[in-house]
Amino acid sequence: MNAKITVDKQNIISKIDKRIYGSFIEHLGRAVYGGIYEPSHKTADEMGFRTDVMDMVKSLNVPVVRYPGGNFVSGYNWEDGTGDKSKRPKRMELAWQSVETNEVGIDEFQEWAKRADSEIMMAVNLGTRGPDEARNLVEYCNGETDTYYAQMRRKNGFEKPFGIKLWCLGNEMDGPWQICSKTPYEYGRIACETAKLMKWTDPSIELVACGSAHINMPTFMEWERTVLRECYEHIDYISLHNYYGNPDNDTAAYLASSIEMDKFIKQVAAICDEIKLEKNSDKTINLSFDEWNIWFHSNEQDKQIPKWQIAPPLLEDIYNLEDAVVLGSLLITLLNNCDRVKIACLAQLVNVIAPIMTETGGRAWAQTIYYPFMYTSRHGRGTVIKTTCDCGTYDAGKMRDIPYIDSTAVISDDESEITVFAVNRSLDSECELDFNVDGYAPCQRVALEGDDIKAVNTADAPENVIPVVKDTADKITLAPHSWNMIILKKQ
């Protein structure tokens, strides 16, 4: 098979907002306890953070981390995670039916984020709580006044505000599984009033309203329209969440998951613009795809996990090569839509549907999905240029005319490099790739490929699936079911 990628550097999609490479840490399973935090671990720093995990997080170059949930946030009292650790309450955590010790809260997490060179995207509880607790939390985190919550932070040892600039107005409030879920109108109203109070407390913050929990929600679109009508002028972004999977083992269809993601993004962007028009507003609402990943491997095993444990091993998907190829193409889609998607969070970061796995008390290793994320996050910085790719197509599942090659191109700010990310979706054919890019030539190339599409990494075999450096002197051939990065240098 042959394909030709044409890149015209005058044809720009948009500058990439670096927050498109965000991730997510929820108080869920072993993400926090046994993941980022384990005081008894041999690599723990003086605050109890695992430095082996921290090093792996830093290699991913994650500019923003959503916290503390997820479903967890809808029953959370943020005050529980502040001040003297010996006085913090243990709680029944209803979202994941676990026990929350509150050993880690915003006091600790803001320090972890600093050490990880990341900003926080903080979610407020709009399930069991509301506008009052949300504005108090903004004051606790960002307040500079001589008032109760800013003083409470100072008394807890933090003179300087945490300076958290990005906030989520609740989480998946349309989902019946959510603690105190809401109708679109109920949510739109509370989101609007909460947004006003939060921005009055700190006008420099940006706010994300909840969109639908996934593209197949029965109220998808009606939810977005109603919510936007209620709070348009008070928010900055609307969220999208979606997880992909291959439960029926139809790999040809699974490799085309990014087509559904692309449609979802375009639909939500169109609704934002429809409400903009309806309101005759000058403001554009952009998108925060703040939960995306592959999630299906752990569904059955999670049903066996007993309730009311501290840090139970929930949502511990083990990812294989095909998952990594799909994840690489989802990233390509986020980049190709970076004119509207300004924030995206790979959900999640450690142990829970995550690129980084740990043994509590033991080793840490990178899952297959770690690598496309790491390379895209490191090299996909700059501006996305429109590419066209001449290639064959195939049919799978309900989809027709799926292009074999999925691709995007990013030009660096100094224009010295164009980095092409490309996935070959064919299960059995390699693809000889030709470039039509004036004044640039391939100089560096990395691929994630292999014969065994179900191969995984484990603590004992952490390098079973790792990227290979390829030669650029020869023809560029993309292996079947592979993810690829090709850097072209200005000649």
Q: What residues act catalytically? A: 172, 291
69 near ligand AHR, rule: CB under 6 A: yes
Least separation in angstroms between CB 220 and ligand AHR: 14
Least separation in angstroms between CB 96 and ligand AHR: 8
61 vs 178 by CB, closer to ligand AHR:
178
Distance between CA 359 and CA 310 in Å, rounded? 15
Segment near ligand AHR (CB under 6 A); pick from 68-76, 144-152, 299-307, 453-461? 68-76
68 near ligand AHR, rule: CB under 6 A: no
Least separation in angstroms between CB 198 and ligand AHR: 20
27 vs 445 by CB, closer to ligand AHR:
27
How far is CA 415 from each of CA 102, 117, 343, 443, 489, rounded to the nearest angstrom?
A: 47, 26, 24, 15, 9
Q: Pairing mode, if any, of strands 405-411 and 383-390? A: antiparallel
Query: Which secondary-structure segment (H or E) carries 478?
Result: strand 476-478
56 vs 95 by CB, closer to ligand AHR:
95
Least separation in angstroms between CB 354 and ligand AHR: 10
Residue with nearest beta carbon to ligand AHR? 70
- Closest by CA to 33, choosing from 352, 306, 300, is 352
Q: How many residues bind ligand AHR (CB under 6 A)?
A: 9
Q: Can you tell me which of 191, 238, 347, 411 binds ligand AHR, judged by CB under 6 A?
A: 347
171 near ligand AHR, rule: CB under 6 A: yes
Residue with tokens 């240029």: 385
E strands, 295-392, are 341-346, 356-358, 364-366, 383-390
Q: How far is CA 476 from the centre of its chain?
A: 31
76 vs 435 by CB, closer to ligand AHR:
76
Segment near ligand AHR (CB under 6 A); pick from 4-12, 67-75, 272-280, 390-398? 67-75
26 vs 139 by CB, closer to ligand AHR:
26
Q: How far is CA 111 from the centre of its chain?
A: 20
70 near ligand AHR, rule: CB under 6 A: yes
| Whether residue 97 has a cis bond before it, omega within 30° of 0 | no
| Whether residue 157 has a cis bond before it, omega within 30° of 0 | no
Distance between CA 26 and CA 74 in Å, rounded? 12
Query: Which secondary-structure segment (H or E) carries 333?
Result: helix 321-336
Least separation in angstroms between CB 374 and ligand AHR: 20
260 vs 302 by CB, closer to ligand AHR:
302
- Closest by CA to 315, choosing from 31, 37, 74, is 31
Distance between CA 91 and CA 327 in Å, rounded? 35
Least separation in angstroms between CB 246 and ligand AHR: 18
227 vs 391 by CB, closer to ligand AHR:
227
Give the HSE-up count for residue 200: Cα atoms under 13 Å, Cβ half-sphere: 11
Written as one letter, the residue type at 376 is T
71 near ligand AHR, rule: CB under 6 A: yes
211 near ligand AHR, rule: CB under 6 A: no
239 vs 484 by CB, closer to ligand AHR:
239
Segment near ligand AHR (CB under 6 A); pick from 30-38, 66-74, 104-112, 187-195? 66-74
Least separation in angstroms between CB 181 and ligand AHR: 12
Q: 3-class DSSP state for residue 123? A: strand
26 near ligand AHR, rule: CB under 6 A: yes
417 near ligand AHR, rule: CB under 6 A: no
Residue 423 tokens read as 């996935």
348 near ligand AHR, rule: CB under 6 A: yes
466, 412 in Cβ contact below 8 A? no
* 253-292: contacts with ligand AHR (CB under 6 A): 291
DSSP 306: P
Segment near ligand AHR (CB under 6 A); pick from 63-71, 272-280, 360-368, 369-377? 63-71
Q: 3-class DSSP state for residue 242? A: strand
Segment near ligand AHR (CB under 6 A); pick from 65-73, 122-130, 411-419, 458-466? 65-73
List alpha helices for 143-202, DSSP H: 148-155, 184-201
316 near ligand AHR, rule: CB under 6 A: no
* 431-490: contacts with ligand AHR (CB under 6 A): none
Greatest C-alpha distance within the chain: 68
Distance between CA 72 and CA 76 in Å, rounded? 6
485, 446 in Cβ contact below 8 A? yes
Least separation in angstroms between CB 347 and ligand AHR: 4
Least separation in angstroms between CB 71 and ligand AHR: 4
Instruction: Read off φ and ψ for residue 312, nearest 5 degrees.
Output: -70, 155
172 near ligand AHR, rule: CB under 6 A: yes
69 vs 450 by CB, closer to ligand AHR:
69
Written as one letter, the residue type at 54 is M
Cβ atoms within 10 Å, residue 326: 29
Provide the binding-site residues for ligand AHR, judged by CB under 6 A.
Answer: 26, 69-71, 171-172, 291, 347-348
